[in-house]
Structure 1
């Protein structure tokens, strides 16, 4: 219907008063026909006037009731909408304490169960949805800002676990990544998980899913996890598969005493999770590149460039804390003869075998690098020359007793080694340390091979 005045409220007043006037005009005829009153008493100016006045009064009362109920409701809706619009416009420039729309500011009181009550509920629900969406957007912005400032995988894991825990409402969390075909535990927060608890098959099956696995209302007393201070029973677990461009990255686990704050299947939650995956993927790529840059491709030990950098670091630490430091230069005996007789692939096999023997039988704090060709350099932190000699002689004996099968050939491997240590009168820097070890290696070769010689 086309508006008369351009205002719904004014139109409503005209309709109601007009309807009252109409009823006042036709009411005398109803009384004349239905009540059969004498025409002389009904069809009079006074009676018509009283009926018209009564009709106008009824129309006015209806208008006032409409204005007090419907108009007040619509005015409240307009006022709340204006308040919400202002807050939304200034959302990114106002303090956090002033950003949220409290119920008394933006909601309409749903005081009835009719259509107005339903409109109130829908309006309030719409406001809450928009507020949640905007808050989620701002959370994502903060999340991304923190991620952009993090480069290492461990730092990124910290940011992700903290953000996920706050967003979904969990008390414990952990991050697993798929690295070189195996699941690695990168970080935990508020929960203690041992590496032996990571069952590879289960996580691989989980990564085949496209959505989080929720384990709600856990009742079993057999599931106990150390979360926070003391031992508690988690009641809700969410396991989120992380993928990037159809590549499996890992799994994020969230553990909570209460139901999670958000629905994991919602578009908003899915978008929040998706923000994390590129950063984990890039961090894994960077880590792989660092490993590739540091590791000798054939033997799997440190390459010379990175190994010498680590040796310099350990040498400076040894000087600062006045701790002993020893190195051993290792050379495979008759390696050229092995290459010439059995081929270079056999030589590569020997190199890999010896490298594995060295790595598997030294301390975690010690280093092995491929120095060049068939030479390896071992670094023993906190070890004197005698300590290093005992370790190297044990390794020499192990190598001597090994019988290697390469194709149809039975191969034997021995090595010679020269040891030098710091502090020493002949050693002032890393170059001097290596030079002395090289001199010891030369004497070991000259005096019969398959032996260890301490230089200096």
Structure 2
């Protein structure tokens, strides 16, 4: 039963009523003890008894207020601030930098720093209430910190599309948020795990070949590991190498498919809060990693020929333009070779288009084997290819053309019991020996030289006449 909106006000009223009733009834009880009613059933005695009852009620109220109220005041003060506590912690964590956030994440008494802990100094219901409140406040603080970490992590993921910077920043933040000292992130490419980001962990290959990683990839479940002494992960810090045995292997899953794996290593065992935090963060990472891989594949499709893996015509022309502008600015030579496969239509008509595709792939592989680092190979047409040779004079172009021609001619391509013989014809040109203002003119001159090579019997290289004298004509 409530009389007012305040507990202690109700208590004071009830204590006053109780004291008044005791004072009123007491004289009648006294008569039962044999005291003459003439002495006790008088107005002064009633007033004295009621006063004593009210005083006793007041003393009881005071003691309740002093003993119980002091505890309730603590709960009341904290309770009054509970509404602002979450906002205070959110603001504090939001304003904290990454290092401060890490301290909060790794501190056992998280809420102690926020001023929301109640001292537990009794073993009764008040002590249990204080303990329960501290647990609630600590859980709240952990939840807000995890939320802040997830928010920061998601913001980072949203700003990255390229796989390598995404993986590098992701593994750094994961190490930060889990108090780990080492970590790596690997993605599944063509059925194999390829490391795209690694910090401190030395024996990456042995880690990725471990049964724990395989189990995580196959099952899609987190592996929490305490390694034996002889199987600890080696960490290579600036101050030297040391081993650690506390490891988490967490698969990165998107729509039920394992895209990769995270490996984190720590100096002490991971607790449930860290494991829960990782499970939250990896959801966003799975989506971001899938977007990054898709973006990479789309960018690859936009720049590469899907069959041969070399640049397509559009991107190859862009790279030629870049190299031409660089050669003009640096007053350095630039060589260009156009070549196509001799009688490629006959190969397609005789053996079919699948074998024709094998020929194209084989030619690209052979040509790549003799090109220098920095040379550019582009599929320019169906069976026509463009080679850009930075720094190559006409003599260099002619020599490289011969190496390319021989590499293709020596290629072994067997279909059933038949050996398919493949040759190419090439046309070459070099700037500034052929002084032009646009790279398109280089290609036109190289195409004219290629046409002459075809007319001269194929399986040869012809150099542009205006840029190279005497002509270097190869023999079959």
TM-score by length of 2: 0.81
Distance 1:322 1:200, change over 3 A: farther
In the other structure, the counterpart of 2:106 is none
Whether 1:88 and 2:86 are equivalent positions in the alignment is yes
1:73 paired to 2:75: no
SS in 1 for 2:142: helix
Question: Displacement of 1:170 after TM fit?
Answer: 1.7
What TM-score do the two structures reach when normalised by structure 1? 0.84
* 5+ residue gaps, structure 2: 102-109, 468-476
For residues 123 and 217 of structure 1, the distance between their equivalents in structure 2, rounded to whole angstroms, comes to: 37
Q: 2:186 aligns with which of 165, 172, 176?
A: 176
How many residues are aligned here? 451
| Distance across 1 between alignment mates of 2:260 and 2:413 | 38
1:433 maps to 442
* 1:351 is the counterpart of 2:353: no
The equivalent of 2:251 in structure 1 is 241
Q: Distance in 2 between matches of 1:319 and 1:361?
A: 26
User: Are residue 296 (structure 1) and residue 305 (structure 2) matched?
Assistant: yes
Distance 1:347 1:104 in 2: 72
Equivalent residues in 2 for 1:53-64 (5 A)? Answer: 57-64=55-62
Structure-2 separation of matches of 1:256 and 1:321 = 52
**In the alignment, is residue 199 of structure 1 matched against residue 201 of structure 2?**
no
The alignment status of 1:3 with 2:2, answered yes or no, reads: yes
Measured in 1, the distance between the counterparts of 2:113 and 2:7 equals 28
**Following TM superposition, by how much is the alpha carbon of 1:90 offset from its aligned partner in structure 2, in angstroms?**
6.1
5 Å-filtered alignment, 1:86-125, equals: 86-89=84-87, 96=95, 102=112, 105-125=115-135
Pairwise CA distance, 1:120: 0.4
Give the aligned partner of residue 366 of structure 1.
375
Contact 1:237/1:253 (<8 A) preserved: yes
Worse-matched range after superposition: 406-415 or 21-30 = 21-30
Q: How far apart in 1 are the matches of 2:230 and 2:64?
A: 59
Distance 2:232 2:254 in 1: 35
Aligned with 1:448 (options 436, 457, 462)? 457
In structure 2, how many angstroms separate the alpha carbons of the residues matched to 1:74 and 1:6? Answer: 16
Q: Deviations over 1:198-250 (max 9, x none)?
A: 43986443222343212236633763132455323234222211111112211
1:188 to 1:79, Cα distance in 2 relative to 1, 3 A: same
Structure 1 residues 23, 208: closer, same or farther in 2, change over 3 A? farther
Contact in 2 for aligned 1:106/1:127 (Cα 8 Å): yes
Cα deviation, 1:278-319, whole Å, max 9, x if unaligned, reads: 111111111111111222223222211111112222222333
Contact 2:31 2:40 in 1 (8 A): no
2:104 is matched with which residue?
none
Quick one: structure 1 residues 330 and 103, their matched pair in 2 at CA, closer, same or farther if it must change by over 3 Å? closer
Q: How far is the alpha carbon of 1:151 from its aligned partner? A: 2.6
Matched residue, 2:338: 329
State the Cα distance separating 1:153 from its structure 2 match: 2.1
- Per the alignment, residue 376 of structure 1 pairs with 385
SS of match in other structure, 2:233 = coil
Q: 2: CA distance between counterparts of 1:337 and 1:174?
A: 52
CA offsets per residue over residues 138-193 of structure 1, 9 Å max, x none? 33223222322223222322332232122212232222122343322222244456
Structure 2 counterpart SS, 1:208 = helix
Distance apart, 1:407 and its partner CA: 3.5
Distance 2:213 2:400 in 1: 40
| Secondary structure at 2:198 match in 1 | strand
Q: Does 1:339 align with 2:348?
A: yes
Which sections of structure 1, spanning at least 5 residues, go unmatched? none
